[in-house]
Structure 1
Amino acid sequence: MLKVESLVKTFSVEGEDVHAVDELSFQVTRGEVYGLLGPNGAGKTTTLRIILGLLEADRGYTEVDGYQTAEDPIEVKSRLGFVSASDGVYPWLTVREMLLYFADLYHVDPWVARERAEGLSRVMDIEKLLDRRAGTLSTGQRQRVTLVRGLIHDPPVMLLDEPTRGLDVVGVQTIFQYIDHLRHLGKAVVVCTHRLDEAERLCDRFGLLLEGKLRYEGTMNELQAATGRDHLVDMFVDMMTAGAI
């Protein structure tokens, strides 16, 4: 469902070339949750922006459901859902109005949009919020609305960028339930997060990034066998220590 192939992106910083993404390749299949993990500056956000069509790669390509971002950006955007820590709700619209507005942007038939909004609202427990203005919602409520909004056009691929940042324990559990729901629906999911303990619980496979390069990839068992470490935190400490030598 999602393919990233030999991706390269270089920025010029104070006269020097910085390889934000360096020959990065990975794939995510239907029903799989892939953790794209790394410290600040590892290339995670740059990769997501290239997939979304917000940045142009220097070399390589990204492909969503058979469409390459550089060649068919509109088709790719229609097949992507995106959720980040920044909720970006429209405060003067009701939750229902906002969900239907976003569905219309993706050319979802009105009756399908209404049914989908109702169904997703039941799943994410925001039925009682549908006719409230978004600006009156709490942080946790706004996050639930954002999660529903990301699925309103039923995309096959979901990108989640730091989805639990700023949330309390209940909010984090909501994200876990949401990702389980995405897996059940057969979505291909990419999760970028600094919370490695959460990633261990959430993801089926992992890609460990450092300085734009994919250093390790695989299931938790495969990473443990390759690194000799039991937990992602220890793996990253070893990687960063080796890189500093």
Structure 2
Amino acid sequence: MEGSECEAIFESLNLKPQLFINETLNLVDEIVDGAFHHFHLEASKLLKIDGSDDRSQDLQKGTDYIHHTIQATLDKRLSMWEQYCLRHCFTVPNGFSLPSEEEASGDDPMDQVDPNDEQVEVQLANLRNKLAEAEKECAELIQELQELERKSTMNNQHIASVNEALQLYERSSAHDMFQDMFRVASELRRKMEQLKSKQMEETEHNRRTRLYDANVDMPECNFSNGLSKLNLDDFQEFIATMNS
């Protein structure tokens, strides 16, 4: 659509695209000017330049040169931005028309109240009530489910505690049984050693008794003269005594 028609449409809607663009360009110029003014002040402080000497004029010339260079490039870019906005952002498509007086006054058939709207509102209210009841029931079911989960967790904990206690009891019973077995085995070993010692003592006592009796019954012989003086009967009796 041509520019005059677009402007007329925007004017009817109390919109002014060119005014918006001009205010934006002026705002950018103010920001750039303020930035270079601050740059000049900071440079003067760093270089310790007074405003009355030649160095201040040279600094001002250098700052103005940089400012103008940047401003020229920025103006070209902003000019392209302005043309883009006018041609693409603030343009009206072909076939667009302003609303008629009847449409503007609110006589559009779409704005008329449908008699069925009340029934729809009633149905929506019923649906909202049913939804609220369903949410309430769902909340109750969730609460019951959480309670069941809590009870199940407690039961599992009790079962685990009982199983652990049974395992401890079984291990304790087995330990006690092994302790009893070790104690009985030790007692049996001690008694066997005592019996063995007693038997050895009795055997030694019997041997000594027999030896003593044999010495008592042995005929008196004069061994100082050697075995050559013994007769055959005495020698056989001596051998029998030694072998017994």
- Higher share of residues assigned strand: 1
Higher Cα radius of gyration: 2
TM-score (norm 2): 0.17
